[in-house]
Chain A
Amino acid sequence: MAPSSTAAQLSARTDGSVEGRYVWHGISRAAGLVAQPSLALGLRVHRVSLEGGAVLHYELDGATAGELSETGAGGRHLGEADLWGRAMFVLGPTRLHAGIVRYVFRGDSTQGGLGPARNTTEVFASLSTTSRYLNPTLEAWWDVGRVRGAYLQASLDLPVLGWPFPPYAFVFVQGEMGLNVGQGPNPAQPGELANFATRGITHVGLGLGTEVRAGRLFGIGSTTLAFGARSQLNTDDATKFDGPGRSRDFVVWLWTGVTIVLGGDARSVQ
């Protein structure tokens, strides 16, 4: 038997993406161009991984009064900084996650942005599995900070085409549906923040994307370029909200990004 490699695997990932709209849990938070750099690190030992990371949300368009923005009118800077950590358990094609996210808002609430008063924390758990075509994920989110309550989300990733030669390219669609079960207004606590207006389905989303595995990085990682379009049918007043006095039942936006993954499964990724 050849000498075995160490069982623990370190990996790192950095993303740089630009989206035409920043949408979180189906809720539009910025309607202009948003850059979202992120960094994540992970340590995997056998079936268990511990992962953590940070993501920043920069608004690239200077919002004017009345426009949907985290930073607020006149701002053109960091609107939100989030930290997250989670544990993952892998069993065959099934993955189970449990984790926590801390949301820190940097906008100016006097200018219509989201300020520190919105800072909050969520814990989450998710279950996902893979098969030849269908890759469903169920997520449950619980705000333990300023909103308090649960939000559920089901999503389905479906590969459409895969180019079998390097550089590998993939076309895929993703559908998702949100369900508010406890992040709406709380009549017992009128001062408590709410994410959604009513209980029930918040939105239904559908996206089409493509990614190209642009290259291997010295045998320890890979670079991926991706772009796509997303659409969303909004069914909750909160997801329809598109700025003061504005409401949109249906939104479409484009996105693009580059991802670098080092170590872990990415060492031999095709």
Chain B
Amino acid sequence: MSRRAVLFWATALLLMGCGPTRLHVPGTLSPPPAPQPGRETLLRAGFARVDITPPPGVGLAGNGPEGAEARGYRLRLYARVLVLADGGGNRVALVVADLGLSSTLLHRRVAALTARTDGIGVDRLVIAVTHTHAGPGHYFEAAGYNDAGSSVLGYDPVMVDSLTARIARAVHAAVADLRPARVAWGSRAVWGETRIRSLPAILRNIPLPTAPADAPAGLPQEYGLVDPELAMLRVDLRDPASGAFRPAGAFSIFAMHGTGNAPSNDLLDPDIQGLVERRLERHIDGDLNRVTDGGFVPRAVYLFANGAEGDVSPAWPPQSRCDVPTLVPLPALAGPFTRSLWEWRSPTATHLASCRHAAREAITAIGKSLGDGAVALFDALGVALTDRLELGRAFATLALRDSARALGICSEPALGLSTLVGADDAHTRIQGWLLFGLFDVGLKQGSPNPDVPGCQAQKRQLFDAAFGGLPNHLFISGSLPSSAQVTVLRLGSRVIGAVPAEVTTTAGRRMREQMLASAREAGLPVSAALILGHANGYMEYVTTAEEYSAQYYEGGSTIYGPGEAAMFGRTLARLAASVSAGDSLPATAAPPLDLVVGHQRHVVPRRSASRVPPPRIERVWCSGGGDTLYAWLQLGVAAEWPVATGDVAAHARVEIVVDDATRTVVSWDDDPALEMRLRSRRGGLAWWEVRWSGASGGTYRVRIPGGAESEPVGCPMQ
């Protein structure tokens, strides 16, 4: 072989090695259900919960370049599972995970396992996420989201495998928990905790959206145009010991971004949704079931899923949004003969602490309000319980690129510049950037380009003024998803459209109307339709055609163009008319997918010490003001997930106890006031800092259950 040929092949191999990872992912449909004679009308349900908190080091996905590397965790991340089954053998599994984005890859991998173990394939499994922007990335189906979802880039198969194994095991546990059940559907309006973040875009819709008649008087327009519905399916299960039906959990849909945390947050956290879930779970355990053992993890399970939240933010105050890094010269020893370097300079630590604190206060207030609403609704549904809940499902996989013309969407996805600058919840560092400080290049929201021709008309794209659609074609469109999985569930009186996207309020309202009309036309006795967003995959936003023309963040992120909302409306209507129960779908419903998932990297830590010494508390002290307790401890090994198998631990990893004879536990590592931050990974071991901001003048000890306990430390209030 000549030198030139060697050079050619070496270069080709190098380029292949540096290229994105490609996966061939089959779709495993559910096998035909096995009817259980004599139990046709018997509704059964089962719940499960699994810990999915990854170790520090992963990227917090959802805020693009402003998404930090996780340094630890605050509240733990869970995946909660509800399996519903009827006597005809029909099963539907609902999973709501404390993650940022849903994933077709994750959905199909889990379904491949649950189809075998529990008869639940892709068509009977819905994996939705809460959309917390403080969850890990690296498991998505498209390169664009793995490689640009946060400041930590890359696709990591270990993340996918770990989440898959944990969620599949939880589905299996919920199936094993199947018991006779009684359920009730209901809803209530929650006003004032959410708002439309892209008001000029929603006001482009025809007819003009208006606040419903029951909206409180005096509510600002952006607060009055949201969909305030908190929909809930309450589930009571028969207690095997007493035979009585006891409250067990619920499944809810409420439209709200998981963006309560400041974008600069660097801790894994389920955001407002996590507080709402825990509020109802503790209410069910403590107030309704009188569970007195005060377990570390609630027994009740509340799945708090997201609805059509595309343009809906939680009502965070402006001071909770931190400044972003700015581009400035780095004064790093630039002497008389060396030039200045450049850097993205972060805001000051004081500023970050201030805005993070404001965000945590807002999360607490919004979480309490929504949680109280959920508790009131759950309690009110206690009089409407029934043991009848007809189950049905329809499922389709849309080939977005290959069938674009038939679907009425653009054949090539494209990102708008407004996507790059971020939404109001988290503007990125390039928001408002002017070329040479003078020329507006469209790096802002609401900057449509009237000169863009074709299907993606109005969408201002990267460098399109100079190169048209070429940069998008060469560098962007291939990293975006090319398929979408859509599910319609019938759960009794509700049809639920599970959409792999973030649907805006108006687009969601239109889809619901189409779905409901179609279901009724097909003879289904349903009373309402719901949109379940962030389900079974992710293809960014879905706006109406009118909103798209405004090119706010949501419009710029409607990647297949202005026809998306109508396409999903038609698809959901078609599926709603074909909901079925005791059959098996044709293989064409879930064809294999070829996914380009991005650059494979070892993001999740791999290396740990081979020998694990007992946990050790190095040091405990209180802040000068007496309101914050700190501890340094060595706990576990470097690559360890906080809960090794995902099975929810019977006890916390770290507890704060009162220094008296009772040793009353006042906090543990699943408390909004307690932060677990990794200090270092020395010698393959994990060295943590615990920061508890709930100290109030007492004397406390830090305890590692089954391990060590610190000396008492006083936290006198100053």
Contact = CB atoms under 8 A, between A and B. Distances in A.
Interface string A126-147: 0010101111000000000000
B342 A162 contact: yes
A58 to B, nearest CB: 13
A266 interface: yes
Contact of A53 (B153, B335, B343): B335
Given A130-B329, A133-B437, A164 B64 contact: yes
A124 interface: yes
Nearest to B64: A164
Contacts of B64: 164
Contact of B341 (A82, A90, A158, A211): A211
A77 interface: no
Closest 3 CB pairs of A and B: A133-B437, A164-B65, A13-B333
Contact of B333 (A12, A165, A173): A12
Contacts of A45: none
Interface residues of B, number: 38
Given A133-B434, A133-B437, A42 B328 contact: no
A264 B332 CA distance: 8
Contacts of B341: 211, 224, 226, 259, 261, 269
B337 A84 contact: yes
B342 A172 contact: yes
B429 A132 contact: no
B336 A159 contact: no
A209 B264 CA distance: 30
A160 B437 CA distance: 8
A152 B173 CA distance: 76
A98 to B, nearest CB: 12
Contact of B326 (A132, A209, A268): A132
A88 B331 contact: yes
B342 A266 contact: no
B8 interface: no
A261 B342 contact: no
A84 B331 contact: no
Nearest to A55: B337
Interface in B64-117: 64-65
B326 A270 contact: no
Contact of B630 (A2, A93, A101, A261): A2
A269 B340 CA distance: 13
A160 B344 CA distance: 13
Contact of B328 (A82, A135, A160, A165): A135
10 contacts: A1-B624, A40-B338, A42-B333, A55-B335, A135-B328, A164-B64, A164-B430, A165-B147, A166-B151, A168-B344
Contacts of B333: 11-13, 40-42, 51, 53, 261, 264
A173 B332 CA distance: 19
A76 interface: no
Contacts of B345: 270
Nearest to A126: B336
B330 interface: yes
A93 B343 CA distance: 14
Contacts of B175: none
Interface string A91-119: 00101000101000000000000000000
B522 interface: no
Contacts of B437: 132-134, 158
A36 interface: yes
A170 B342 contact: yes
User: Which of B336, B338, B346, B437 has the most chain A CB atoms closer than 10 A to its own CB?
Assistant: B336
A120 interface: no
A237 interface: no
Given A55-B337, A84-B336, A224-B341, A95 B331 contact: yes
B9 interface: no
Interface string A31-62: 00000101011100000000101010000000
